[in-house]
């Protein structure tokens, strides 16, 4: 398949759509099965092209429970867009275009479009920078891959698969003050995976307490200088204490 250029939706057009959403006039349009209404709305082709090339790909919409498609779709999105930078991957214009363009049906399938709130959250950026990239339907898939992909493993997406199976953990982990460091995320995920393998039931309250402790460690030590084994041991011991108390 030949390469194409990634689209983007100009900021003024994003603003236009958000204003109409606030006015309560867009819900039926977003519920249409195709995105042809966009061209009518703007009286023009809605998207412009970046200079970033990619090979077009599709997403998995086959799971009867849409959240179960995320593991496979993280592989597809991050695997095909691994070459974009963190800065580019933080740009609402890119992800809004992908949500409204080639992956319009995926957003409807995964998150539904029964309210303006869902549209704002999952087609656009509707929060602060860090939370927005995890709520937007497409950037979420890329950023889960970004923080969990490990090329040293036989399956580089091993940690991605775990995190997508525990979707309620995503915010706790990716909103960590330390989450810009993939190795620090990897240690935490390995602690959680090993706890699960031991039959321990870790819920979001436990994880919230553990990530709070992790952030405190980050404010006390230079975590990059602590050996993996030492950090793993500290987190494992802390999790054991949390599970006893809670």
Q: Is the pLDDT of residue 218 over 80?
A: yes
Number of residues assigned to the chain: 246
pLDDT (mean) for 225-240: 96
Place of tokens 């915010």: 171
With cut-offs at 50, 70 and 90, classify the pLDDT of residue 181: confident
Run of H or E including 51 = strand 48-54
pLDDT (mean) for 121-134: 94
pLDDT confidence of residue 78: 99
pTM listed for this prediction: 0.94
Q: What is the pLDDT of residues 9-33, one digit of tens each?
A: 999 999 999 999 999 999 999 999 9
Q: What percent of the chain has pLDDT over 90?
A: 87
With cut-offs at 50, 70 and 90, classify the pLDDT of residue 182: confident
What does DSSP assign to residue 168?
G
Q: Do the Cβ atoms of 25 and 50 come closer than 8 Å?
A: no
- Helix ranges restricted to H, the chain: 11-22, 27-30, 37-42, 70-80, 92-100, 104-111, 116-123, 129-135, 137-148, 158-165, 170-174, 182-197, 204-220, 228-245
Q: Do the Cβ atoms of 167 and 63 come closer than 8 Å?
A: no
Radius of gyration over every alpha carbon of the chain, rounded to an integer in angstroms? 20
Q: Is the pLDDT of residue 231 over 70?
A: yes
CA gap 77, 143 in Å, rounded: 9
Q: Is the pLDDT of residue 138 over 70?
A: yes
Q: Is the pLDDT of residue 212 over 60?
A: yes
pLDDT confidence of residue 227: 93
pLDDT confidence of residue 224: 87
Q: Is the pLDDT of residue 161 over 70?
A: yes
Place of tokens 């809004």: 96
Q: Do the Cβ atoms of 186 and 179 come closer than 8 Å?
A: no
Q: Do the Cβ atoms of 123 and 100 come closer than 8 Å?
A: yes
Q: What is the pLDDT of residues 64-117, one digit of tens each?
A: 999 999 999 999 999 999 999 999 999 999 999 999 999 999 999 999 999 999
Q: Do the Cβ atoms of 90 and 129 come closer than 8 Å?
A: yes
pLDDT confidence of residue 179: 66
Higher pLDDT, 171 or 74: 74
Q: What is the mean pLDDT of the chain?
A: 95
Q: Is the pLDDT of residue 246 over 60?
A: no
- Domain limits, the chain: 1-152, 166-246
CA gap 200, 211 in Å, rounded: 17
């Amino acid at each position: 398949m030949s390469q194409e250029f990634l689209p983007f939706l100009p900021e003024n057009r994003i603003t236009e759509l958000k204003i109409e959403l606030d006015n309560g006039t867009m819900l039926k349009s977003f519920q249409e099965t195709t995105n042809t209404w966009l061209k009518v709305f703007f009286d023009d082709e809605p998207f412009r092209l970046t200079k970033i090339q990619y090979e077009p790909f599709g997403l998995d919409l086959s799971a009867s429970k849409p959240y179960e498609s995320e593991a496979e779709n993280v592989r597809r999105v991050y695997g095909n867009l691994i070459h974009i930078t963190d800065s580019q991957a933080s740009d609402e214009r890119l992800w809004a275009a992908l949500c409204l363009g080639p992956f319009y049906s995926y957003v409807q399938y995964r998150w539904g479009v029964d309210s303006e709130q869902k549209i704002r959250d999952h087609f656009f950026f509707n929060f602060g920078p860090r939370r927005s990239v995890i709520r937007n339907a497409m950037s979420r898939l890329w950023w889960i891959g970004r923080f969990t992909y490990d090329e040293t493993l036989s399956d580089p997406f091993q940690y991605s698969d775990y995190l997508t199976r525990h979707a309620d953990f995503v915010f706790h982990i990716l909103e960590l003050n330390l989450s810009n460091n993939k190795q620090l995320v990897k240690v935490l995920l390995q602690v959680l995976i090993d706890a699960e393998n031991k039959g321990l039931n870790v819920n979001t309250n436990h994880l919230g307490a553990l990530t709070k402790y992790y952030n405190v460690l980050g404010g006390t030590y230079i975590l990059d200088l602590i050996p993996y084994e030492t950090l793993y041991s500290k987190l494992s011991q802390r999790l054991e204490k949390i599970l006893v108390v809670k």
